Chains A and B, each alone.
Chain A
Amino acid sequence: MDILEESIETCRKDPGTVVFPDCLDQRVLAAAARLKQEGIARPVLVQSPFAVRQKILASRQQLACFTVVDHTSGPVLAENIDAFMALRHEKGKPVTEEAAQKTMRCALAASAMMIRKGQVEVGVAGNLSSTAAVLRAGIGLIPKKQKTISSFFLMISPKADKAYILADCAVVPEPGPDVLADIAVASAEKAKNLLRQEPRVAMLSFSTKGSASHPRAAMVREAVEKVRKQAPDIRIDGELQLDAAVVPTVASMKAPGSIIRGEANVLVFPSLEAGNIGYKMLQRMAGYKALGPFLQGFDGGWHDLSRGCSSDDIFNVAVLGLCMQRGAAVTPSARQADLPLNENRRSA
């Protein structure tokens, strides 16, 4: 049983609530129907109920019974406008009622507000909306755990015997050392509550431990230092080339004494192009299953899909998003968690 299957079983024991603002889409209806029919989650669709009904009828499939919230309905809109104006007032950036109404007539913002209010646990969008729009709604309404909002992928090997967290592959194009440090800290947490392993974070570069002298490599080294100051408990090393990060024999030659000993389970890329290319290479050329992207940095589950996603992708993000939000992707006994490093080496 891989992480996804274990997460499905975990959710089935205590189904959560997932909101879908981009729900006028057959892929979302199919994913939401599956979540509901399999007893994994209770989907909530945010849109006009008549528009949703039209989509259900057009699908010509036997879809589940859905709960829909019309965010433009008078009482809902009025309540959201008041809450948004109060929020902006607290932030010292007040808005007019007209501007608040314009914002809250957007299904993304209304869904983010539901997360803020604790009415739902996780929001999944981006199948129809742009990443910028999804991020804007989240940043405007959902409290943040850290300054940087970034993303990660969970990559699972074809035999499901290896899993990695890869970041950032979807959001921050050119992170500086502070932002890269934030990405590393957030991603390390995912290894704990998603992989159920102690995080071993590799900060990737084209250089290993000063083998090349270049500002880009120096930036990565600076980010490593920042993480060590911010979160001294995190096992992190860099800058490292990929082979020194994940192949113990190479690590022993290129980076002897590295704290992660070629057994990284969190790979932090120095730029978005590297991260995006890297996850696609694992997915397309090595047959890894790519689950995500998941947004990180919000104090609430808010995730952005690719517009080319499948219904299975939507289902997977909802399931893992729920588990991450609860800090328990799988039952602790189900995984070979926190193995001593030498035992992990055999399975890596």
Chain B
Amino acid sequence: MGKQVITADDIIKRAASGTKTLDYNRADVIITPGALDKIEELGLSFSTAPEASGEACSAAVSQTGALPAASQHDAVTEQVCRILKDKLGSAGAAGLEAVVAGVVASRLSAGPDKVQIPDDSTVTGFGGVSLIRGSRVLDREPAGSFPGNVMISHALRLHDDSPLSATYMKWEKADFSRTVEAPEISILVQGGMDLIVDGKTLTAEAGDILYMDKGATVEYHSDTPVLLACVSA
């Protein structure tokens, strides 16, 4: 929820009801310059001290995030102007509102910063979210070209306490059989393969998702290069 915006009309209503001291928690509301003028005009006062102007300034944009775009723009512009007027006094105030309005409009329309991922970086992440460049996870130069060789990426587990990890597996042409040791989900990124389970064949194509339960016995057959992304606990 964004902060409540207190306008001149709100002040008039409170004054009409006989209020002399305004009980707004000033950290939780935005009071427009018009409202401040009306408060002074009507001789009202606040029960709490105003919050520091620097904090108000830095928080102005984010605190109004829940408002509709037009209201958000007006509210932020008013608040920034008020803070600047307080700091600058009358000097330099001319045209200030137009400048601030332009800056606020520009900032609000810019959207989130785009993160540039360096060319040599495999993992980029912050705020609990990581992006792993798939093209960097697997070797470009395999150890050799042996019949049936499979390349396994290192385990993609970015946090020690994460219950999940992922690997890529890549092979040219191979047949395997296995008994699944732990439940896993695989996504066939490239290629195609047949899976023989309980005597029946499932044909998987690129983009298909496979779930394998613990204890399942599976035979893999592929005549084409395969890239599989596997996620398991």
The contact of A44 among B137, B146, B169, by CB within 8 Å, is B146
A69-B148 in contact given A53-B167, A53-B230, A60-B160 (Cβ < 8 Å): yes
- Interface segment, one of B15-23, B55-63, B126-134, B175-183: B175-183
Q: Which residues of A contact B (CB under 8 A)?
A: 17, 42-44, 48-54, 56-57, 59-60, 62-76, 79, 114, 119-120
| CB-based contact A70/B146 at 8 Å | no
Interface residues on B, range: 20 to 34
Find out whether the CB atom of B154 lies under 8 angstroms from the CB atom of A56: yes
Q: Which residues of A contact B230 (CB under 8 A)?
A: 53
| Contact A52 B149, beta carbon cutoff 8 Å | no
Contact sample, A vs B, 17 pairs, CB 8 Å cutoff: A49-B152, A53-B169, A54-B182, A57-B155, A57-B167, A60-B157, A65-B139, A65-B154, A66-B151, A67-B139, A67-B150, A67-B151, A68-B151, A69-B148, A73-B174, A114-B146, A119-B144
Closest CB in chain A relative to B149 CB, distance in Å: 5
B149/A68 in contact, CB under 8 A: yes
Are B149 and A69 touching (Cβ within 8 A)?
yes
Contacts beyond the supplied A49-B150, A51-B178, A69-B150: 7 A-B pairs with Cβ under 8 Å? A49-B176, A52-B152, A56-B154, A57-B157, A69-B147, A70-B176, A75-B175
* B150 proximity list for chain A (CB < 8 A): 49, 67-70
A75 to B146 CA separation, bound complex (whole angstroms): 11
The smallest C-beta distance from B232 to any residue of chain A, in angstroms, reads 7
- Per the 8 Å Cβ criterion, residues 67-108 of B in contact with A are none
Once bound together, how far apart are the Cα atoms of A62 and B178, in whole Å? 24
Q: Is the interface of A mostly helix, strand, loop or mixed?
A: mixed
Kindly list chain A residues whose C-beta atoms are within 8 Å of the C-beta of B137. 65
| Contact partners of B152 in chain A: CB under 8 A | 49, 52-53, 56, 65-66, 68
* Given A60-B157, A65-B138, A75-B174, A44:B144 Cβ within 8 A: yes
State in angstroms the CA–CA spacing of A67 and B177 once bound together: 18
Which residue from chain A places its CB closest to the CB of B177 in the assembled complex? A72
Confirm or deny: B7 has a beta carbon within 8 angstroms of a beta carbon on chain A: no
Q: How far is the CB of B125 from chain A (nearest CB, A)?
A: 14
**Does B143 contact A67, Cβ atoms closer than 8 Å?**
yes
**B4 contacts which chain A residues (CB < 8 A)?**
none
Contact between A48 and B176, CB atoms less than 8 A apart: yes
User: Which residue of B is nearest A46, CB measured?
Assistant: B146
Contacting residues, chain B, for A66 (C-beta < 8 A): 151-152
Q: Given contacts A48-B176, A50-B178, A65-B138, is CB(A75)–CB(B148) below 8 Å?
A: yes
CA distance A17 to B177 in the complex (A): 26
Q: Pick the contact of B149 from A48, A67, A79 — CB < 8 Å?
A: A67
CA distance in complex: A42, B146 (Å): 13
Contact A76 B176 (CB under 8 A): no
Selected from B151, B175, B181, the residue in CB contact (under 8 A) with A54 is B181
Most buried by A among B137, B160, B167, B232: B167
B142 within 8 A of A: yes
Quick check: is B53 within 8 A (CB to CB) of the other chain? no
Nearest Cβ on chain A to B186's Cβ, whole angstroms: 11
Chain A residues with Cβ below 8 Å from B144 are 17, 42, 44, 67, 119-120
Q: Is B174 in contact with A42, judged by CB distance below 8 angstroms? A: no
A70, B221: Cα distance in complex, Å? 13
**A51 to B175 alpha-carbon distance, docked (Å):** 15
Residues of B within 8 A of A120 (CB): 144
Instruction: Tell which of A17, A63, A66, A75 has the most Cβ of chain B within 10 Å.
Output: A66
Instruction: For the complex of A and B, list the 9 residue pairs with the smallest distance between their C-beta atoms, beginning with the closest.
Output: A67-B143, A42-B143, A49-B150, A76-B148, A73-B148, A74-B175, A50-B178, A68-B150, A65-B139
